[in-house]
Amino acid sequence: MKIYKFGGASVKDAAGIRNVYEVLQQAGYEDVLLVVSAMGKTTNALEVVIKNYFEKSRQLQESLQDVKKYHIEILLDLFDNGDHDVFADVNRHFSDMEYFLSHNKSPNYNFVYDQIVSYGELVSTVILSHYMNFRNIPTSWIDVRNFIKTDSTYRDANVDWDQTQKNISKNLKKKALNITQGFLGSDENNFTTTLGREGSDYTAAIFAYCLNAESVTIWKDVPGVMNADPRYFENATLLNQISYREAIELAFYGATVIHPKTLQPLQRKEIPLYVKSFLNPLLPGTSVSKGADLDPQLPCFIVKKDQLLISLSSIDFSFIMEENISEIFALLHKFKMKVHLIQNSAISFSVCADDKFGNFPELKTILSKKFKVSYNENVSLYTIRHFDDKATKIVESGKEVLVKQVSRETIQIVTL
């Protein structure tokens, strides 16, 4: 079986849905599992719904209607008959979401988040499945929550691999075109969980691992894996082939083409990964497979925006020792701060991190009891793999450099 993953950009409108049909016509769809994300910016729109729900905002109903209107307009573009079954199926999911919002008693933001954002993937896959059937490509729509089981770490759940393997081996239809949702799972109480933002790639890798798949293809709006994000760097170059190791390094440092957790399951079973363009599906794209000789011979640039640089120093000029660092990391873990760079000296310790859950104010209060805390918000973290002087100058030009860290193959630079 082959696994195809289509992200939100590929199904953002009716034209995108039609294009997925064309991609399948060219790439083939026999014995294929499609893993599909929410349409366009639906996850962002559902985050607004959640915000309005918790703030008891008068805009709650308006934000709900915006999400529904967006999807209904796509349906009206795709299907001539307003009585088509897809309308009832989509409306049923929206009714379920509204029922949850009106009956939920849990104050846990992360729990509510997972229950609500999941409807983006559920609705997008229902629409895609109905459209493929309408165009005479028979599909089997499956609810991924019945297959991928996780713990109850809402918004960043950990996979129960044993149970997931059993579910997929036993229940997935072979030789069919299966369509399922990326990003989602469920816990032991069958509440919806999510695997972290942009986790649909990881979903594809989970299914590939459990099915011993022939390959995984991630369909993107770019030609493949580039040595830099074209939005931020000129003259970005396509990497035709890279090794699992290099892809893991690039993903770890923040390359957005491949989700960080995607590579490990594929590497363990040496399942090839392809990153290809849904705009030009016959182009070769980038292949990721085993072999150190596949590593790129040119600098690779990665940038993470909106980072937080936290610098701690001892109040009494005492050394920051192992026990202090251990305590700091325990707090960073507790407050779900994703650390991307560490630098320390005798009396200071700095980290560059993501604060995607908005926990820094509370963390700062605790840290301030033992340390002098300095911080910079909205900094950029640049990472250059296989760097040289020219590449470093490109990043530093016109910017204030706050931190620079150099190793054999990689340089990281934090700038304002």
Look-up of token digits 């896959």: 125
Q: What would the two tokens of residue 368 be?
A: 């301030």
Q: Of 265, 226, 223, which is closest to residue 242 (Cα–Cα)? A: 226
- Dihedral, CA atoms, 368, 372, 378, 380, nearest 10 degrees? -130
Contact present, 94 and 69 (Cβ < 8 Å): no
Q: What would the two tokens of residue 349 be?
A: 């310790």
Q: Report, in angstroms and rounded to the nearest whole number, the Rg of the chain calculated over CA atoms.
A: 23
Q: In what order do the strands lie in the sheet with 410-415?
A: 338-344, 348-354, 300-314, 371-385, 410-415, 401-406
> Torsions phi, psi of 24, nearest 5?
-65, -35
First to last CA, the chain: 47
Classify the phi-psi angles of 242: left when phi > 0, otherwise alpha if psi is within -120 to 50, otherwise beta: beta
Three-state secondary structure call for residue 226: strand
Query: How many angstroms from the chain centroid is the CA of residue 271?
Result: 20
Q: Are strands 32-36 and 338-344 parallel, antiparallel or unpaired?
A: unpaired
Classify the phi-psi angles of 270: left when phi > 0, otherwise alpha if psi is within -120 to 50, otherwise beta: left
Q: CA angle, corner 67, sides to 206 and 24, nearest 5?
A: 45
Per-position DSSP letters for 60-81, written without gaps between them: HHHHHHHHHHHHHHHHHHH-S-
> Torsions phi, psi of 259, nearest 5?
-70, 140
Three-state secondary structure call for residue 340: strand
Rounded to the nearest 10 degrees, the angle between the axes of helix 360-367 and helix 322-334 is 150
231 marked as binding residue: yes
Which residues pair with residue 351 across a beta bridge?
310, 342
Q: Which amino acid is at 134?
A: F
Q: Are strands 371-385 and 300-314 parallel, antiparallel or unpaired?
A: antiparallel
Contact present, 308 and 379 (Cβ < 8 Å): yes
Distance separating alpha carbons of residues 259 and 401, to the nearest angstrom: 28
Binding-site annotation: residue ranges for ATP: 231
Query: Which residues are known binding-site members?
Result: 231
